[in-house]
Amino acid sequence: MAASVLPSAYQTSASSPDWLNKGDNAWQMTSATLVGLQSVPGLVILYGSIVKKKWAVNSAFMALYAFSAVVICWVTWAYKMSFGEKLLPFWGKAGPALGQKFLIKQAALPASTQYHFNGEVETAMITPFYPMASMVWFQCVFAAIAVILLAGSLLGRMNIRAWMAFVPLWLTFSYTVGAFSLWGGGFLFHWGVMDYSGGYVIHLSSGVAGFTAAYWVGPRLTIDRERFPPNNVLMTLAGAGLLWMGWAGFNGGDPYSANIDSSMAVLNTNICAATSLLVWTWLDVIFFGKPSVIGAVQGMITGLVCITPGAGLVQGWAAIIMGILSGSIPWFTMMVVHKRWTLLQQVDDTLGVFHTHAVAGYLGGILTGLFAEPTLCSLFLPVTNSRGGIYGGSGGTQILKQIVGGAFIIGWNIVSTSIICVVIGLVIPLRMSDEQLLIGDDAVHGEEAYALWGDGEKYDGTKHGFYSDDTSHHRPVSGATQVL
């Protein structure tokens, strides 16, 4: 009998070169898929169900459109602006990531080589053991979810055409700057600012940009601001569950390898998220007498966000502390500070993205500077001998680096987002008309989320009884966490 011949995929060949680690490649593509599922369908479901019924279609579609638009912009010019050759200390050179020769070669971040002051190499260029195609797609889903998270501040009133213009502009002039500066080999990367998986690049930037854009777009109708009940709490939980489980790829994929650091990151992520959810829920019970399901979702999110900049850099006990703080400090800023600070009251941040992402992301970055463990840092960071403040040595300086790095992201997003909104506003109204805002999805899309009264039949109060988004249940308001 003739000797069996393995298929080419299992041989060292053009399709399976020596540098390819199939385990790393499989995990990276799996991680990318998990992160993609956080957006589609995760946030599509969450946004479509956490808003008033009349905005379910529009909110879900904002997320779906953003995901698609980012994919095309990313491979056409934005990937290399984030992870390509250096153009400026905070920006890479734009260019396409579409050609075969580029996509099948070994992944590499050309601006990531770290040098000592004397010019000697401190840490070699990042070169994961899989093709550029895997790297491009993995980073693409991160860029997409950043824009979609930002949308949470704008639900229920932003002109969909203005949103369609906003997505590629914000990706190009805001997200790529943060990504290159902190991950791609920019000045914050080489200075040693720690952002393991996007506490700053994604969450702080989307939270600040969302709040800034909400200022420029303007508020919802007064009736919507006063009462904005979720149209489907159970589906909100389903979307939140996809977000939580998808975070395994979010934080577990960022070592660019299926290694022990990725295992630490996944475990810490779940520890912090669970702790934060419990703390937020108990604060609602203690101060308002009832556990809020929406509050539990907010607490889960703040825990996931807070651990993200340090997921693979801190020990398990530190993840618990970070969870306690992420379940309480954003709760305090949302439930107490927000209601007393005039500026926060004036800006209509629909889902409280400022609190759940900006506050929690900056908090996580600073706590990472405090708790980052030296051995874990050596597994991941380009700057050798990095450590958190509690471990002495250069740890105190690390906290300062974290504060400065976050301040740069905040400042850049305020300025760039404001310019983008002003420019779009000169051409397209940022806010829908009051007539559209009163009707909702049917006026904007000609579609509605639920056919509650039969096929093509509109609501008729004389036949169907009283039902609306503003149904009164004649019960006292608990004060527990709700959509802002």
Q: Predicted confidence band at 50 (pLDDT cuts at 50, 70, 90)?
A: very high
Q: Is the per-residue pLDDT at 306 higher than 50?
A: yes
Question: Which residues touch 219 (CB under 8 Å, ≥6 apart)?
Answer: 157, 225, 347, 348
Q: Say what the pTM is.
A: 0.91
Cα→Cα distances 476→22, 223, 288, 365, 480, Å: 58, 18, 11, 39, 11
Cα–Cα dist 378/124, whole Å: 13
| CA distance linking residue 346 with residue 53, whole number of Å | 24
* Helix pair angle (360-371, 316-332), 10° resolution: 150
The C-alpha atoms of residue 101 and residue 107 are separated, in whole angstroms, by 12
Query: Which tens digits make up the pLDDT trace of 433-468?
Result: 999 999 999 999 989 888 665 555 555 555 545 445
Predicted confidence at residue 476, as pLDDT, reads: 44
List, in sequence order, every residue forming a beta bridge with 91; answer none if it has no partner: 88
Listed in sequence order, the residues at least 6 apart from 87 whose beta carbon sits closer than 8 Å to its beta carbon are 81, 93, 94
pLDDT of residue 183: 97
Q: Mean pLDDT across the stretch 86-107? A: 96
Residues β-bridged to residue 115:
121
pLDDT digits (tens, 9 = 90+) for 213-271: 999 999 999 999 999 999 999 999 999 999 999 999 999 999 999 999 999 999 999 99
pLDDT digits (tens, 9 = 90+) for 5-14: 555 555 656 7
Please give the average per-residue pLDDT across 88-111, as a whole number. 96
For position 393, what pLDDT does the model report? 81
Which residues on adjacent β-strands are paired with residue 123? 114
Are the beta carbons of 416 and 214 closer than 8 angstroms?
no
- 320 burial type by CB count under 10 A (0-12 exposed, 13-18 middle, 19+ buried): middle
pLDDT at res. 468: 52
Q: What is the DSSP string of 41-66?
A: IIIHHHHHHHS-GGGHHHHHHHHHHH
Q: Across residues 140-152, what is the average pLDDT?
A: 98
Q: What is the pLDDT of residue 10?
A: 57
Q: Tell me if 262 sits within 8 A of 311, measured CB to CB.
A: no
Per-residue pLDDT of 173-185, as tens digits, reads: 999 999 999 999 9
Q: What mean pLDDT, rounded, does the chain reach? A: 91
**Distance from C-alpha of 484 to C-alpha of 481, rounded to nearest angstrom:** 8
Q: Under 8 Å CB-to-CB from 141, ≥6 apart: which residues?
A: 32, 35, 36, 38, 39
Q: By CB neighbour count within 10 A (0-12 exposed, 13-18 middle, 19+ buried), where does 183 fall?
A: buried
Beta bridge partners, 114, equal 123
DSSP string, 403-470: HHHHHHHHHHHHHHHHHHHHHHHHHS-SB--HHHHHH-HHHHTS--S--TTSTTPPP-HHHH-S--TT
Mean pLDDT of all residues in 337-345 = 90
Instruction: Give the model's pLDDT for residue 1.
Output: 46
pLDDT in tens, 307-324: 999 999 999 999 999 999
Q: How far apart are CA 462 and CA 456, in angstroms?
A: 17
> For helices 132-151 and 22-37, what crossing angle results, to 10°?
20
- DSSP readout, 152-221? TTTTTTB-HHHHHHHHHHHIIIIIHHHHIIIIIS-HHHHHT---SSSIIIIIIHHHHHHHHHHHHH----
> Which of 209, 266, 180, 125 is closest to 410 using CA atoms?
209
Report the pLDDT averaged over residues 15-20: 88
482 compared with 478, residue with greater pLDDT = 482
Predicted local confidence at residue 457, as pLDDT: 54
Confidence of residue 483 (pLDDT cuts 50, 70, 90): low
Helix or strand or coil: residue 359?
helix
Q: In the chain, count H helices and then E strands.
A: 24, 4
Give me the pLDDT at residue 379, please. Answer: 87
pLDDT value, residue 471: 43
Q: What is the pLDDT of residue 225?
A: 92
Res. 395 pLDDT band, cuts 50 70 90: confident
> pLDDT tens digits, residue range 363-380?
999 999 999 999 999 988
Q: Is the Cβ–Cβ distance between 402 and 369 less than 8 Å?
A: yes
